[in-house]
Amino acid sequence: MKLVEQGMGIDVFWAISTPERVNDLSQVDFDIFQGLFGYRLLLIKEARVTEFKTTGDIEIKNMLAGLSPDWPDYLILQKHGFNVQGTTSYSSLFKLLELERVDYLPRSMFEVWFEHEHLQTRGISVSPDVAIYYPTKFTFFLAKSNRELADELQKALQAMDGNGRFEQFFNLVWKDVIAKSSLQSKKIIRLSND
């Protein structure tokens, strides 16, 4: 974020929209994941799949979620009374789960399947029964001094959305992930994000 803000060779980056980012940068107001990035599927130990099937909202809150304290979800879950264990090392999150020092890792449906592919040999699964959702936007950000490019990106994305090309491209890239995530068959724990 600082490299974009200071014009240090990166013009555009994409990330979850947060009040800090919106305040410090120019945001292209177009959700590139169409509101779906807020669906968090749970990476869990394979041996606990049955346990998670019958676990209620309160039990999930009382279990220990593993997240990076630098990620927006960390504060969102804490605000809603979830127990959260933080580590700033991405790879350590998976080790914490593997060693059962955390109960689950809430990961976006757009991340979880790639991660699961690399973790399934270590006894880690995606809960087929429970997910967490909170509204979030995933957008492009640029330096405030680069407002002209931000406006051009905004216009281009709105044009693609208006003529259906964005949805075609989105479905081409993500339809299998969305189908595999099977949101309609999961109990969704819904949270606010204010």
pLDDT band at 2 (very low <50, low <70, confident <90, very high): low
CB atoms within 10 A of CB 21: 19
Single pTM value for the model: 0.89
Q: Which residues contact 42 (CB under 8 A, 6 or more apart)?
A: 52, 104, 105, 106, 107, 126, 127, 130, 131, 132
What H or E segment, with its residue span, contains residue 12? Answer: strand 12-16
Of all residues in the chain, what percent carry a pLDDT higher than 90?
Answer: 78
pLDDT at residue 4 greater than cutoff 70: no
Rg of the chain in Å (alpha carbons): 18
Q: How far apart are CA 127 and CA 4, in angstroms?
A: 37
Whether the CB-CB separation of 34 and 44 falls below 8 Å is answered with: no
Domains of the chain from N-terminus onward: 2-34+136-163 (no CATH), 39-133 (3.40.190.10)
Q: How far apart are CA 140 and CA 143, in angstroms?
A: 11
Distances, alpha carbon 76 to alpha carbons 21, 82, 134, 169, in Å: 16, 9, 8, 30
pLDDT at residue 7 greater than cutoff 80: no
Q: Specify the higher pLDDT residue, 103 or 1.
A: 103
What letter would DSSP give residue 103?
A: S
Burial class of residue 95, CB neighbours in 10 A (0-12, 13-18, 19+): middle
Q: How far apart are CA 149 and CA 36, in angstroms?
A: 26
pLDDT band at 83 (very low <50, low <70, confident <90, very high): very high
Average pLDDT over residues 148-171: 96
CA angle 117, 123, 129 (to 5 degrees): 80
pLDDT at residue 120 greater than cutoff 90: no
Q: Give the mean pLDDT of the chain.
A: 92
